[in-house]
Amino acid sequence: MFDPATYAHGVPHALFRELRDHAPVCRVPETAVGPWPAGPGYWAVFRHADVKHVLRDAGTFSSHLGATQIRDPDTAGDLAFVRAMMLNQDPPAHLRLRRIVAAAFTPRATRELETAIEARARALVEDVAGRGEADYVELAADLPTWTLARILGVPEEDRRLLQDWADRIIGYQDADHAGAATADPATLSPLGRAALAHRPASLLKPDGTPLNPRSPEALTDMFAYAHALADAPRPGSVMARMREGGLTGAEFETMFFLFAVAGNETLRNGIPGGLHSLLYHPEQYEALRRRPELTGSAVEEVLRYWPPVLDFRRTATRDTELGGQRVRRGEKVVVYHASANRDERVFPDPDRFDITRTPNDHVSFGFGPHFCLGAHLARAQIRAMLRATLDRLPGLERAGEPVRLTSNFQNGLKHLPVRWRTDR
């Protein structure tokens, strides 16, 4: 379950089920993967109640000590840098950073964006309606990137940079995404072209091993762009709040990093994953097509059934017991959202995709102090894109086999070919 290649074939739900029943907290080895060295291993957590406990108890299970990715940063300097990120802070430092940007993500603030998001989703779908076919991953990718650019104040012509950065940071385990550089310099703004001049000439170290994709050295172009954008931020944008919030240099850079990736890649995986789930359950697809009032509960079931994030790491701050196992101070503890969301102790018939399921206590947005700041905005985008797709593409069906992302962190699709009728 640690090997990223496993997830290129699907989430191992049968294995998760077996482990929930017989080894709900167990040791998992970190084998070497390609050029990436082996690690010390970790405690994996599979049951819903235990996952919630770990995410709630920041005093025992820290986001800060070792950060929140399974793989350890390469150097002490890399660890110190990523620790500055809001995602990798514990209370009360986490709350200070969260407050600086939280006003941009309240339900009220999101409602003001929803009309624009719905219009954008409809326009994207209408733009391809006459073609009769598309790669839905490519189609859906535009909405979260467009929304994020609007929130950050990124010029329209630079949106492709956001996608490239997300691919390089999150998709580094997949050869198709690791060195993403799809932005055309000729179409970028002057800010964007200037940032490209700072892009590392190589993503390899002098000894031939890969740069940590989350290190400052690998992201010099992103941070050059962030600082240039902050010199004249759009009033009311998240960049303006960040500039006014008293962030240190590392806090500012890692905050931009977080928004450019978390506000982008998760939805680029979650929206196609939602349509994938519906297409593989045609009776549910048809029910949602006919009954728009089910869209709210359908979004929650999409999130439960296809969580965009598979897992997150914490580090034990002291010796403790979890699921009958003795966890030592300093050991990694990794919670598996994809397993918790199908825990039979919480969800009746958990492998059934049911858009009317209620209650639906999934943990796809996390739990506790790090509950996703953009959850309301994410729901709005999933709702808008799926609704526009079902309403405006008649006879939608699969047009080929989907291709999954190679990643032990993101539950993603690289391709989802679909087709529909154009006779309306």
Q: Which domains does the chain have, with CATH numbers?
A: 4-419 (1.10.630.10)
Question: Which has the minimum average pLDDT: 47-51, 232-236, 237-241, 345-349?
Answer: 232-236
Nearest-CA neighbor of 194 among 220, 166, 233? 220
Give burial (CB, 10 Å; 0-12/13-18/19+) of 424. exposed
Residue 424 is predicted with a pLDDT of 61
Residue 359 is predicted with a pLDDT of 97
Express each pLDDT in 281-304 by its tens digit: 999 999 999 999 999 999 999 999
Query: In the structure, what pLDDT confidence band is assigned to residue 64 with cuts at 50, 70 and 90?
Result: very high
Residues 296-316, mean pLDDT to the nearest whole number = 98
Query: In the structure, what pLDDT confidence band is assigned to residue 191 with cuts at 50, 70 and 90?
Result: very high
Residue 408 is predicted with a pLDDT of 96
Would you say 116 and 143 are in contact if contact means Cβ atoms under 8 Å apart? Answer: no
* pLDDT reading at 128 higher than 70: yes
Residue 420 is predicted with a pLDDT of 98
* pLDDT reading at 266 higher than 90: no
Residue 246 is predicted with a pLDDT of 86
The reported pTM is 0.95
Residues 5-21, mean pLDDT to the nearest whole number = 97
Query: In the structure, what pLDDT confidence band is assigned to residue 106 with cuts at 50, 70 and 90?
Result: confident
- Mean pLDDT taken over the chain: 94
Highest mean pLDDT among 193-202, 240-249, 379-388: 379-388
Residue 313 is predicted with a pLDDT of 98
Express each pLDDT in 348-366 by its tens digit: 999 999 999 999 999 999 9
* pLDDT reading at 126 higher than 80: yes
Residue 103 is predicted with a pLDDT of 80
Query: In the structure, what pLDDT confidence band is assigned to residue 308 with cuts at 50, 70 and 90?
Result: very high
* pLDDT reading at 179 higher than 90: no
Query: In the structure, what pLDDT confidence band is assigned to residue 208 with cuts at 50, 70 and 90?
Result: confident
Question: Which has the minimum average pLDDT: 14-18, 210-214, 276-280, 307-311?
Answer: 210-214
* pLDDT reading at 210 higher than 90: no
Total Cβ atoms within 10 A of residue 173:
23
Total Cβ atoms within 10 A of residue 142:
18
The residue assigned the tokens 């790491």 is: 313
Residues 375-380, mean pLDDT to the nearest whole number = 93
Residue 180 is predicted with a pLDDT of 80
Query: In the structure, what pLDDT confidence band is assigned to residue 190 with cuts at 50, 70 and 90?
Result: very high
